[in-house]
Amino acid sequence: MSLVEITEVTHNIILDMRYATENNFTRQTIYDCSRCFLRPEALTLLEKAIVLADAQGYRFKVLDAHRPQYAQERLWDVCPNPDYIANPASGSHHTRGVAVDLTLIDKDGQELDMGTPFDSFDLSSHHGSQQISPEASRNRYMLLGIMMSAGWDFYVNEWWHYQLFKPREFDLIKSR
């Protein structure tokens, strides 16, 4: 098993690895590596999505991708809610290297309004939420359309989270 690094230069994206900073729901640095990694299978689909977003005048800001097991454990310690954080005992799609958290940005690098910030763990962060503005709803559907057209599956409770289909077929990555 190997992970592939994704960089701003090689993939025309912006990296804002939130768990490598205190700018996340825990207000703690969860892991100290601000680099971004995915399995090759996930990278192939991300590259397709990048092309689709670019054709519409957008880019991605990647907020999280592969995360080490110890980071999953830290997140669970802060928020042991399986609706939003996978129990580290069974692993997460992120610890398998097959999930990415992201948002869309415009040509000026500004995030599109998605109705809630990343890591808003409530009903307003769910796909199809009626608790957000029509503009935010359109932006979410645009992101969803791009990602699904590229071959990604989504998690209904988090507008920012996309994963490979059948993610549990991939082994947990024990360390990086």
Averaged over successive runs of 10 residues, the pLDDT of the chain (176 residues) comes to 91 96 93 94 98 98 95 89 88 95 97 97 96 98 99 98 96 77
* Exposure letters 155-168 (e unless 16+ CB within 10 A, then b): bebbbbbbbbeebe
The tokens describing 37, both together, are 């990694």
| Catalytic site includes residue 158 | yes
Residue 19: CB partners within 8 Å, gap ≥ 6?
29, 30, 31, 64, 67, 71, 75
Q: Which CATH architecture has domain 4-169?
A: 2-Layer Sandwich (3.30)
CA distance 11 to 24: 24
Q: What pTM value is reported for the model?
A: 0.94
Q: What is the pLDDT at residue 175?
A: 65
3 Rama sector, left if φ>0, alpha if ψ -120 to 50, beta otherwise: beta
Residue 9: CB partners within 8 Å, gap ≥ 6?
none
The catalytic position among 22, 47, 73, 158 is: 158
